Structure 1
Amino acid sequence: MSRDRVALGIALGYAADRLLGDPRRGHPVAGFGRVAAGLEQRIWGSSRSRGTAYEVVLVGGAVGAGLLLDRLPAATRVPVVAAVTWVVLGGRSLTKEAQSMSGLLVAEDLDGARLRVRNLVGRDPSALDADELARATVESVAENGADAVVAPLFWGAVAGLPGLVGYRAINTLDAMVGHRTPRHERFGWAAARVDDAANWLPARLTVLATAAATGSVDGARSVLATVRRDAGRHPSPNAGPVEAAFAAALGRSLGGSNSYAGVVEDRGRLGDGPPVTVADIAPASRLQTRIGLLSLGALLGARAVSRAALRRRRRARPGRPRPSSRR
Structure 2
Amino acid sequence: MAEEGRLLLHVLWDALPWALALLLAMAIDWWWGEPPVAVHPVVWMGRALQWCGERIAPLQPRPADRRAFALGAAAWLLMAALVVAIAGALERSTLELPWPLAVPVLALLLKPLLSWRMLRGEVLAVEVALSQSLPAGRERLARLVSRDVHALQAVQVRESAIESLAENLNDSVVAPLFWFVLLGLPGAALYRFANTADAMWGYPGMRGGRYWQWAGKWAARADDVLSWVPARITAWLLAQCGRGVHWAAVARQARKTPSPNSGWPMAAMALALDVRLAKPGVYTLHRRGRRAAPLDTRRAATLAAEALLVCVPLALLALPLREGLRMALGM
Does the pair score TM above 0.5? yes
What residue in structure 1 maps to residue 62 of structure 2? none
From 212, 218, 228, the counterpart of 1:184: 212
> Deviation above 6 Å: which 4+ runs of structure 1?
none
Structure 1 residues 111 and 120: alpha-carbon distance in aligned structure 2, compared to 1, 3 A threshold: same
What residue in structure 1 maps to residue 155 of structure 2? 131
What residue in structure 2 maps to residue 151 of structure 1? 175
Q: Provide Cα deviations, 1:280-322, integer angstroms capped at 9, x if missing partner.
A: 11011111111122111112212223434665x589xxxxxxx
From 48, 60, 64, the counterpart of 2:69: 48
Separation in 2 of the partners of 1:310 and 1:34?
35
TM-score (norm 2): 0.86
From 81, 95, 102, the counterpart of 2:106: 81
From 30, 33, 37, the counterpart of 2:50: 37
Separation in 2 of the partners of 1:130 and 1:84?
39
Alpha carbons 2:87, 2:186 under 8 Å: kept: yes
Q: Tell which structure's C-alpha radius of gyration is larger.
A: 1
Look up the equivalent residue of 2:118 and give its one-letter code: S
Separation in 2 of the partners of 1:19 and 1:31?
23
Separation in 2 of the partners of 1:186 and 1:25?
30
Alpha carbons 1:223, 1:249 under 8 Å: kept: no
Q: Say yes or no: does 1:204 pair with 2:227.
A: no
Q: Provide Cα deviations, 1:93-134, integer angstroms capped at 9, x if missing partner.
A: 011111211111122x11111111111111111111111100
What residue in structure 1 maps to residue 3 of structure 2? none
Structure 1 residues 240 and 314: alpha-carbon distance in aligned structure 2, compared to 1, 3 A threshold: closer
Alpha carbons 2:14, 2:323 under 8 Å: kept: no
Look up the equivalent residue of 2:308 and give its one-letter code: G
TM-score (norm 1): 0.87
User: 3-state DSSP class of the match of 2:290?
Assistant: coil
What residue in structure 2 maps to residue 241 of structure 1? 264
Structure 1 residues 306 and 86: alpha-carbon distance in aligned structure 2, compared to 1, 3 A threshold: closer
What residue in structure 1 maps to residue 22 of structure 2? 10
The size of the alignment, in residue pairs, is 301
Q: Structure 2: where are the runs of 5+ without partners?
A: 1-8, 59-64
Query: How many angstroms does 1:266 deviate by?
Result: 1.2
Query: How many angstroms does 1:37 deviate by?
Result: 1.2
Cα RMSD for the two superposed structures: 1.9
Look up the equivalent residue of 2:54 and give its one-letter code: Q
Q: Structure 1: where are the runs of 5+ without partners?
A: 258-264, 316-327
Separation in 2 of the partners of 1:103 and 1:112?
9
Structure 1 residues 78 and 275: alpha-carbon distance in aligned structure 2, compared to 1, 3 A threshold: same
What residue in structure 2 maps to residue 103 of structure 1? 128
Separation in 2 of the partners of 1:156 and 1:314?
19
From 268, 273, 288, the counterpart of 2:284: 268
State percent identity of aligned pairs. Answer: 33
